[in-house]
Structure 1
Amino acid sequence: MSQIKLSPRLQAVADLVETKQKVADIGSDHAYLATYLVESGRVAEAIVGEVAKGPLDNAKKTVANSGLSTKIDCRLADGLFALKAEDRVETVVIAGMGGLLIKKILNDNRALGPFQQLVLQPNTDQDAVRSWLVANGYRISQEQLVEEQPHRYEIIVAKPGQEELSDADRIFGPILRKEAGPIFQAKWQHEQARLQLVLDRLEEANQKTNAKYQEVAAKIAQIKKELHS
């Protein structure tokens, strides 16, 4: 039983990690997730990658305080460059970053892949992450939305494979949009309302012929279609 208490977001990420020998957490937020996974027996070993010394020291402190320094290796490196082929990492977790940064991390050292499992939690630009996955030999196996007020987070799990995604799949998530649960509805209703405010301001400024106006209007129409509203 782990002594670490995870936030709802990180707990959802942890629950999606398959039981494996070794997991890597890139950008670890004090190594809480890696510590929880090892303490709870979900994984045998973990590697924590941090790009700056301060966060690395925080991660090492958490690991040392938990008595897991022999099972969790904290490394200073940029993204996936914290890993080597001989590490035999099966699952990679990248959570709590922008989608474009996650895409860059995956792309910078993609020769290491494909990994047996990717658990990704992009805060933004989820469509860019999904596009990268299908273009680089992965299929989306699971998706989950978790609410941690005032935010709603998308978690994308991928495994080696091939699939094609429509534009709507990339934006809304192929699994999330099929389930269309209450958190999904709330997330996109909120986004629709936010975009409508932008559109109203552009209209007040007589910008209806502006490319930005057309772009925002198209996004609103796409959300309305998805929500059948």
Structure 2
Amino acid sequence: MSRLPVRARRVYRTGLYGSRSGRGRNRRKAERCDKRLILVYLDSRLRAAFDFCRSGAASVDVGCDHARLAAALALEKNCRVIASDVKDGPLEAARRTLSELNAESVLTVKSDGLDGIDFADDVIICGMGGELIADITERCRFKNENTRFILQPMTKAAVMRKRLYGAGFELLEEKTACEGGKIYSVMLWRYTGKAREISEIEALCGKNRDKVYLEFIAEKLRKNARGMEKSGGLAEEAERLRKQADAVMRKAVDCGR
């Protein structure tokens, strides 16, 4: 059997759409459902990012990894997509994925962040640290009020929120994603050019109203506070973190009502 995407191969092998004896028929059905099943390839983080992207948009997936999101956008939302990465290895993996999924319309570009990109309606940056995402987003040369930035930091989400608000970006919406036992927030931003300072609690919570996410943030703050107390000499900072945790928990309680 020539190589099919994993999910399509599973459909073929198990006879999900018919008996195992009807292999030719199952294979044809598996091939026809490839496009429809592309979303199976996306984990919860990438699926949330996919949901924020606009149909038919010119999109760029920065740090594309295996290009599953880029393929999904091209096949499911008819987007014109650039999959970019700073390293050759991920781009080779991306090209293999795109070929396997019949999504060769996606362009692969070697670029440091957005430095090699001239235009996009939707910019997607997932799976990097919050400070690096902020660096890339702030350096964007083509940002305007119509550009949307779909961002998913693995760490330092509060730092990223604070920096982007200070650089003239506005946070529109957030969604919670759970992956590998960890909880993340996927965010939709736009550029307004109007910088503003935000409070520590705004930086910690953003626009996420998911009780699970807020409880996760509160517990992380408490854990950091306990660590500071054990190290000694940081009681004042530990108390500050505990107060922040209490404020975040109050938001979580309100969201649970």
Q: Same fold (TM over 0.5)?
A: yes
Call closer, same or farther: CA 1:219–1:20 in 2, change over 3 Å: farther
How far 1:140 sits from its partner (Å)?
0.8
In 1, the alpha carbon distance for the partners of 2:201 and 2:215 equals 17
- Equivalent position of 1:188 in the other structure: 217
In 2, the alpha carbon distance for the partners of 1:77 and 1:17 equals 21
Indicate yes or no: 2:101 matched with 1:66: yes
- Equivalent position of 2:205 in the other structure: 172
Aligned residues: 212
Indicate yes or no: 2:83 matched with 1:48: yes
TM-score by length of 2: 0.75
Q: Matched residue of 2:54: which SS?
A: coil
**What are structure 2's unaligned runs of at least 5 residues?**
1-35
Residues 9 and 153 of structure 1 are in contact (CA less than 8 Å); yes or no, is this contact kept in structure 2? yes
Q: Matched residue of 1:74: which SS?
A: strand
Residues 165 and 195 of structure 2 are in contact (CA less than 8 Å); yes or no, is this contact kept in structure 1? yes
Residues 2 and 39 of structure 1 are in contact (CA less than 8 Å); yes or no, is this contact kept in structure 2? no
**What are structure 1's unaligned runs of at least 5 residues?**
none
Call closer, same or farther: CA 1:80–1:135 in 2, change over 3 Å: same
In 1, the alpha carbon distance for the partners of 2:112 and 2:68 equals 19
Which one has a bigger Cα radius of gyration? 2
In 2, the alpha carbon distance for the partners of 1:132 and 1:10 equals 23
In 2, the alpha carbon distance for the partners of 1:9 and 1:80 equals 21
Q: What percent of counterpart residues are identical? A: 22
Instruction: Give, as a single letter, the amino acid of the residue that structure 1 aligns with 2:216.
Output: K
Residues 144 and 154 of structure 1 are in contact (CA less than 8 Å); yes or no, is this contact kept in structure 2? yes
Residues 8 and 147 of structure 1 are in contact (CA less than 8 Å); yes or no, is this contact kept in structure 2? yes
After alignment, is 132-141 or 150-159 more displaced? 132-141
In 2, the alpha carbon distance for the partners of 1:185 and 1:134 equals 20
In 2, the alpha carbon distance for the partners of 1:104 and 1:224 equals 31
Indicate yes or no: 2:141 matched with 1:111: yes
TM-score by length of 1: 0.84
How far 1:2 sits from its partner (Å)?
4.3
Instruction: Give, as a single letter, the amino acid of the residue that structure 2 aligns with 1:52.
Output: K
| CA RMSD, 1 decimal | 2.0
